[in-house]
Amino acid sequence: MISGFTTADPQMMLSLMRTLHGFTMDLFRHGDRVKAALDAMVDDMADEGLKCMSAAGPPSTNGLPGMMMACERGSGQYYNLKTFEKYVWPYIKKIVLTWAKAGYVTTLHFDTDWTLNMPYLKELPKGMVICELDSTTDIFKAHEILTGHTCIMGDVPPSLSSHGTPEEMEEYCKKLIQVVGKERV
């Protein structure tokens, strides 16, 4: 087990409640109100994680137990960087920094294509984040950007495991191990 507490990033929480379409319309029609809501909830979300984890005791020397934050609807697949920088990134960053300060490693579970957003992870503390990718983010580009800073996990495309040959699957996994798996944070 790598996480004892799981949440979603604040923007995703609101977009799940409003629907992605409704939330996106709110960004453009009522951006200041959305930002005020995000500002009001971010500290409580970070503190709730710490409160839940306190029952498990302090983080161990290897960073476990840790926290997990699901991030999906704020990626470059959905929003341009200007929108990401205003309504998504500051809140992910604030929560991760709060948890890291308390000694917890955060797994950021990225669904959708976050390739465009990978450089922002370098603003987080080195060795305190696990970047968990699905097959839509370019894991090799993520590795290029985050080598020596952030642990990367994931990315065996479902299409390969369901439609590829055993040889193609083996070849892809070997490439992951040789390229992404060779560096350590």
Q: Cα separation of 61 and 54, whole Å?
A: 16
- The pLDDT tens digits of the residues spanning 92-129 come to 999 999 999 999 999 999 999 999 999 999 999 999 99
Which pTM does this prediction carry? Answer: 0.92
Element (H, E) at 161: helix 158-163
Burial (0-12, 13-18, 19+ Cβ within 10 Å), 180: buried
Residue 11 has pLDDT above 70, yes or no: yes
Burial (0-12, 13-18, 19+ Cβ within 10 Å), 158: exposed
Residue 63 confidence class, pLDDT cut points 50, 70, 90: low
DSSP three-state, residue 61: coil
Residue 184 has pLDDT above 80, yes or no: no
Q: Cα separation of 128 and 52, whole Å?
A: 19
All structural domains of the chain: 5-180 (3.20.20.210)
- For residue 176, the 8-state DSSP code is I
Res 31: pLDDT:
97
Res 54: pLDDT:
81
Mean model confidence pLDDT for the chain: 91
